[in-house]
Chains A and B, each alone.
Chain A
Amino acid sequence: MRLSRFVIPLALFVTIVVFSFFGLEIQDRDKLPSALIDKPFPEFAAASLFDPTIEVKNDALLGRATLVNVWATWCPTCKAEHDELVRISEDTQLQLIGINYKDDPVKARQWLSDQGNPFDLVLQDPEGDLGIELGVYGAPETFLLDESGRVLYKRVGAITREVWSHQMLPFVDDI
């Protein structure tokens, strides 16, 4: 009797502490872990934004560490992160590839000429089909790939200076 009076509250206490420890550590509950981490970037073929006659495939991602950024002109958060993408394109050796997600190509080209174009290459995904292949469920989303096209990291939401230096740079330095 004395033992269970001690053990039951202790067991409850330990359970609450353990679950709080792990549960409260989960930041951003609305951000899902990507199913693509450590896997090769999916096979795709998409038209270039600036020249729709050019079809871009996976080989465009190979040979250089690459940042693939899913963006759209209808997405306010994309506007917020744009300056940081421009800075990354200027300050790093990364190749930047944009996926213009469920957008109007005319507006997209206008946006890039107004605000500066950080991308080496921009692909069109008018219906969001490439987005489905990538497990995208909103914009912006950003994938970091190594030279072999393997996904190292995925960011859901804007890349800020802080996200860049604390979460992404360690992966970039390892490449």
Chain B
Amino acid sequence: MCLISLYSQAASTVDIFEFSEASDKSRYQSLIQEFRCPKCLNINIAGSDAPIALDLRRTVYRLIVNEKMTDDEIRNFLQERYGDFVLYDPPLNERTWLIWSMPLLFLVLGIWWVFSTKIRSASESRIELSQSDRDQLKQILDDNR
């Protein structure tokens, strides 16, 4: 058993947790990058100095080492308690369907726009005459005959 101090990406926080398995340590490091700190809005729990972020890192450690939870079980654990907010990748549900459907909407609009301008430029290349234009033209030609 070795004592490992973990430096987060932001390097602002140093916790001392012991891991007997190297795989647990790498899971811990990747999971704490994944969750958003509830107190500080746009920092993950790895990079935050807020006391709640420390408590959540401790919780992630406990769930990995003591509770032997899988990564998905840990994600569910935090989501059930802190809501979708802690996940940077929010699930599709009744509150998020609009924002998730935006890319598809823009794709459809883009295709529509490309096609409509193509059709328009194709139709603009030749001059369309209305019935009255044709009658008028016929009249001019007849008069000149």
Residues of A within 8 A of B (CB): 1, 4, 29-30, 32-36, 102, 127-128, 131-138
Chain A to chain B contacts (Cβ below 8 Å), 17 pairs = A4-B116, A30-B41, A32-B83, A34-B83, A35-B79, A35-B80, A35-B81, A35-B82, A36-B81, A127-B55, A128-B51, A128-B52, A131-B55, A132-B59, A133-B81, A134-B81, A136-B52
Residues in B with CB closer than 8 Å to A131 are 55
Question: Lowest 6 CB-CB distances: which A-B pairs, in order?
Answer: A35-B83, A137-B38, A135-B81, A137-B52, A135-B82, A128-B55
Residues in A with CB closer than 8 Å to B79 are 35
Give the dominant DSSP class at A's interface.
loop
A85 → chain B, closest Cβ, in Å? 23
Residues in A with CB closer than 8 Å to B52 are 128, 136-138
Residues of B within 8 A of A (CB): 38-39, 41, 51-52, 55-56, 59, 79-83, 85, 116, 120
- The CA-CA distance from A75 to B116 in the complex, in Å, is 62
User: Are B51 and A135 touching (Cβ within 8 A)?
Assistant: no
> Which chain A residue has the least Cβ–Cβ distance from B53?
A137
B36 → chain A, closest Cβ, in Å? 10
User: Are B82 and A1 touching (Cβ within 8 A)?
Assistant: no
- The CA-CA distance from A131 to B59 in the complex, in Å, is 11
Residues in A with CB closer than 8 Å to B59 are 132
- The CA-CA distance from A61 to B59 in the complex, in Å, is 26
B110 → chain A, closest Cβ, in Å? 13
Residues in B with CB closer than 8 Å to A36 are 81
A166 → chain B, closest Cβ, in Å? 23
B102 → chain A, closest Cβ, in Å? 11
Known: A132-B56, A137-B38, A138-B39. A32 touches B82 (CB 8 A): yes
> Which chain B residue has the least Cβ–Cβ distance from A135?
B81
Q: Which of A33, A128, A134 contacts B83 (CB 8 A)?
A: A33
Residues in A with CB closer than 8 Å to B80 are 35
> Which chain A residue has the least Cβ–Cβ distance from B113?
A4
- The CA-CA distance from A4 to B80 in the complex, in Å, is 46
B47 → chain A, closest Cβ, in Å? 16
Residues in B with CB closer than 8 Å to A35 are 79-83
B11 → chain A, closest Cβ, in Å? 23
- The CA-CA distance from A110 to B82 in the complex, in Å, is 32
> Which chain A residue has the least Cβ–Cβ distance from B95?
A33
Residues in B with CB closer than 8 Å to A138 are 39, 52
- The CA-CA distance from A1 to B52 in the complex, in Å, is 56
Residues in B with CB closer than 8 Å to A102 are 51
